[in-house]
Homo-oligomer: A and B are copies of this chain.
């Protein structure tokens, strides 16, 4: 599909891309670039690409497609660094979880003749680094583009086809709407998960050993999101501030109302909410975005019948 694809950043997303590009023969040459010599070494040991460099400019030179997969807070710096080496006619995209901020950071550096198309594959796990990636990560997941006015339709279609061949479904929307949607479906859940795990960690009346021992009764569900990459999530919080603060305000307002129902013994109100929320999970399962197996199918995994068996 492409002569040369450059992957700038080779963590969970970058390394999953490298694997699926190889499997699907989407490029003749995969150039891998990261500033961290130890991460680059690991990527090389894993055989993820065809060339490896800590010099981002060298990696993107002559590339037809450049995919930036770095924490969103590093977007400006990376764009500034690679801009002079970008080939005329190349497609430049990213995978960041916030879009308005990434556009603001990268756009000013994009040379004329380069097609900058901001993107966000909604895929990931709580693991990070080049070892965490796998070729199936994007299968049946959505990839959202937030194209800028004047985007070349041919370039957008080519990038869409690339992501479809990685297994994804494609959507497009404007960056502001993306950031609002993601604030509720992704950013708020992560922040809440981090917060509750922090609250439990701080208790003095309940020993930390007890929290760990009895985690299967609900708490452990939150620890997965709260084990996600700290740098990535710090940057998301700092770069989608307005939408996140809006969602946090709504969440806290609702929680105060729920708390009041508990204090005053309003069983009917509790029952109504607890019934309403059941249907949403059903819809997500029907949409093919969640497993129907009880307990996420964990039980099978724990009994040794899981992945790879």
Q: Which residues of A pack against B, CB within 8 Å?
A: 122-127, 132, 134, 136, 140-142, 144, 171, 180-182, 184-203, 205-206, 208, 210-228, 230-231, 233-234, 237-238, 241, 244-245, 247-248, 250-252, 254-256, 258-259, 261-263, 265, 267, 270-271, 273-278, 280-284, 287, 289-291, 293-303, 305-309
Residues of chain B within 8 A (CB-CB) of A274 are 194, 226, 228, 230, 233-234
A214:B299 contact, CB within 8 angstroms? no
Number of copies: 2
- B206, B227, B273, B302: the one within 8 Å of A291 (CB): B302
* Alpha-carbon separation in the docked complex, A295 to B144 (Å): 21
B221:A224 contact, CB within 8 angstroms? yes
Say how far A190's CB is from chain B's closest CB, in angstroms: 5
Given A196-B189, A298-B291, A307-B300, A201-B241 contact (CB < 8 Å): no
Say how far A97's CB is from chain B's closest CB, in angstroms: 8
Given A125-B295, A217-B182, A234-B271, A195-B258 contact (CB < 8 Å): yes
